[in-house]
Amino acid sequence: MKTILFYIILIAIWELIYKLGVGVLHWWKSYAFPSPLSVFQTLVSLGQGGSLELAVLVSMKRMVIGYLLSAVLGVTLGLLVSQMQHFGSQFNAFILGLQSLPSICWLPFAVLWFGINESSVLFVTTIGSTFAISLAVISGIKNINPLYIHAAKTMGVQGIMLYRDVMIPAALPNLVTGLKQGWSFAWRALMAGEMMSSTHGLGVMLMQGRDFGDISQVVAMMIIIIVIGLAVDRLLFGRLERKVWRRWGLNQH
């Protein structure tokens, strides 16, 4: 109930700002700042035409493929770097530096290597979250209690079994947090890739709204992007994170 009330108040404030800025004080024109009603009408229109549903499906398909690729690459890279004896800290700093790059910086490479097509969007999406997941894995492995590893080795656990049965389960809380962060990074990277080098998707519809001067469509797409991001975070990663924290007997605040 509090959540519903919060958003009602938020929409009311939005409408008040629109009325004051456009109708009373004339700070801006209606085409520069949309009203809640115009955004809602745009959403209804796009939904009835089927273009919104198609854009969501296309974007989510790209997101799932790109994110799964980044998860595999990120976990693998994190495990490799965490086991480096001599250059581990240098590689860690290097990965941290790459992670600080905005996803849009990778777009020129994507276009040059793959062209303006689906592969370039998937590349930007994948690279956008790979390093975040790697850093979470490295941090999780680094913070494992050494007694767990020594005890496992004493009992004859070696190689892949050591990773599968001891190290990855012990690092799971950090890994889940990294996967959650990786999703948000990949989601933002996908929007950047679609805005610059795609023909369908939410990012494309966002750019179309800009190109046609339709600020209501721009805001409508922003709302859809936010809602999907929050829904996935809460329904999937939020539940997974709480389950892992309870399994490990940790308090989550």
End-to-end CA distance of the chain: 21
Q: Are 26 and 44 in the same domain?
A: no
What's the CA gap between 155 and 248, in Å, rounded?
A: 23
What's the CA gap between 164 and 158, in Å, rounded?
A: 10
Strand segments (E) across 9-139: none
Q: What is the pLDDT of residues 61-77, one digit of tens each?
A: 999 999 999 999 998 99
Q: What is the pLDDT of residues 202-212, one digit of tens each?
A: 999 999 898 88
Top pLDDT among 53 and 163 is at 53
Q: What is the pLDDT of residues 216-243, one digit of tens each?
A: 999 999 999 999 988 998 888 888 878 8
Residue 5, domain member (yes or no): yes
Residue 17, domain member (yes or no): yes
Residue 253, domain member (yes or no): no
pTM of this structure? 0.83
Residue 252, domain member (yes or no): no
Q: Are 24 and 77 in the same domain?
A: no
Q: Are 21 and 45 in the same domain?
A: no
Q: Are 136 and 239 in the same domain?
A: yes
Domain enclosing residue 225, as ranges: 35-247
Q: Are 113 and 9 in the same domain?
A: no
Residue 122, domain member (yes or no): yes
DSSP 28: S
125-129, 140-144, 245-249, range with greatest mean pLDDT: 125-129
Question: Which residue from 118, 140, 84 is spatially nearest to 197, judged by alpha carbons?
Answer: 118
Which CATH number belongs to the domain containing residue 134 in this structure? Answer: 1.10.3720.10
Average pLDDT of the chain, as a whole number: 85
Question: Would you state the pLDDT for residue 250?
Answer: 55
What's the CA gap between 238 and 232, in Å, rounded?
A: 8
- Whole-number Cα distances in Å, 71 to 5, 67, 175, 183: 37, 6, 10, 9
Question: Would you state the pLDDT for residue 71?
Answer: 93
Q: Are 177 and 73 in the same domain?
A: yes
Q: Are 43 and 21 in the same domain?
A: no
Please state the rounded mean pLDDT for residues 133-140: 88
- Number of folded domains in the chain? 2
What's the CA gap between 250 and 253, in Å, rounded?
A: 10
Instruction: Decide: 205 and 53 in contact? Cβ < 8 Å.
Output: no
Which run of H or E residues covers position 129? Answer: helix 118-142
Q: Are 107 and 58 in the same domain?
A: yes
What's the CA gap between 53 and 204, in Å, rounded?
A: 13
Q: Are 56 and 146 in the same domain?
A: yes
Residue 132, domain member (yes or no): yes
